[in-house]
Structure 1
């Protein structure tokens, strides 16, 4: 009996192994889960990149480069961001090239200019190309020009902003009390034309009127004022679309109206 009691009273120094093995098991499960999540993200990124490459006519060579990263999924995220920027730049350059070819073919060089800026592709029309002096009605030749360029712009999913500009010569008529109204009316006219004849979705378009307050050059000569009287069509880069209001607000409003 004494021998059994002595043996039963001895402390078990190996019980810590149970806690240790449980901790190791939990850590193993944690890292397996993290690794699985990172692989899912990588597959998702590659799928998105592949789809965009086919849509924009680009290649997937960008996705094949890049070194390892200590953060799971970081390489894939950077690769996707780089790929999207490159693909969008290629799309912008394609739009610019197509419009320039049309402008050259129609003998509009100098009257219609196409540039790529930080905000996107800017197609700038001198006002005489599209509108009679002091009017917001497109002339006959302008309708064809806007339709042809609209067909090129229709292929991109980016938002499109139309901006109206005037010189500093005042206008005061029953229809246009100031240059603000004239510039906005002209941009709205172009927007309506793009919707009706180029099938560009209305939720991708916006019209803005700046009047005389965004001149390219000082309004101190007739030639300079001619440059400032213009209508610009801007294909916005994706990063500038984040400031645009969401269409979900409109859809929620429609749903509310139906319930009432």
Structure 2
């Protein structure tokens, strides 16, 4: 019958590491318990994330439910409301309020297919492709585009901020008797949009300015037809108050 040999010389048995290991595990467990006790679960945010995920999986539109604000970490909720996760409840910036309001307006008026809302360092821009407003190589407003501009007038007249209308083209050259280059084409398109707001819709001319940038401020490379179409656009930019003061 085999017997266990005893270490009569008082040397190491080989299992001394177990005590150190047990102490390390205990310390780690204590550390994580401490972290959990110091944290707080935001029930409202968890509910919002759950709702957004449910909408996404069911195929419903949920871009306004779960759109993360890269400026200050806000998460807009259903119906345009915004949750501010910062303790102390800092107010939304003027630009973020305007962005949310315009996006809700565009959605409520079914303009998502013709108007894109863009955050700009100067404010919020309502971006329209050139084929919505004009015929090819023309600066005359299409008749069916005027109803779109008329609806956007409601956004413009609701606030007193300056409005910058900016025309853009792709990099294909133009050389006609009326438009020797893309500078003239983009500038004339911007001017005609401003004139519609002022002369037809009765807006205050002092608030508006028109600028043509030609092909020199693209939003995409001019190497495909789709990207060229993105560059041919008119931006109706509302300058936010916080940008005016800076």
Q: Secondary structure at the match of 2:167?
A: strand
Cα deviation for residue 97 of structure 1 reads 1.5
Whole-angstrom distance in 2 between the partners of 1:226 and 1:160: 24
Aligned to 1:99: 106
Whole-angstrom distance in 1 between the partners of 2:146 and 2:201: 11
TM-score under structure 1 length normalisation? 0.56
Structure 1 residue aligned with 2:135, among 113, 128, 132?
Answer: 132
Cα deviation for residue 242 of structure 1 reads 5.2
Whole-angstrom distance in 2 between the partners of 1:223 and 1:128: 13
Aligned to 1:189: 192
Q: Secondary structure at the match of 1:125?
A: strand
Is 1:119 the equivalent of 2:122?
yes
Is 1:218 the equivalent of 2:221?
yes
Cα deviation for residue 101 of structure 1 reads 2.5
Instruction: Count the aligned residue pairs.
Output: 160
Aligned to 1:48: none
Aligned to 2:236: 233
Give yes or no for contact 2:95–2:123 (8 Å, CA) kept in 1: no
Cα deviation for residue 88 of structure 1 reads 5.6
Whole-angstrom distance in 2 between the partners of 1:241 and 1:205: 14
Cα deviation for residue 188 of structure 1 reads 0.4
Higher helix proportion: 1
Q: Secondary structure at the match of 2:104?
A: helix
Summarize deviations over 1:81-133 as a string: whole Å, max 9, x none: x76x645632442133112322xx25x51x42113333221111110000000
Give yes or no for contact 1:95–1:153 (8 Å, CA) kept in 2: no
Name stretches of at least 5 consecutive residues in structure 2 with no aligned partner: 1-87
Name stretches of at least 5 consecutive residues in structure 1 with no aligned partner: 1-64, 67-81, 244-260
CA RMSD of aligned residues (A): 2.3
Give yes or no for contact 2:106–2:115 (8 Å, CA) kept in 1: no
Structure 1 segment 36-55 matched on structure 2, within 5 A:
none
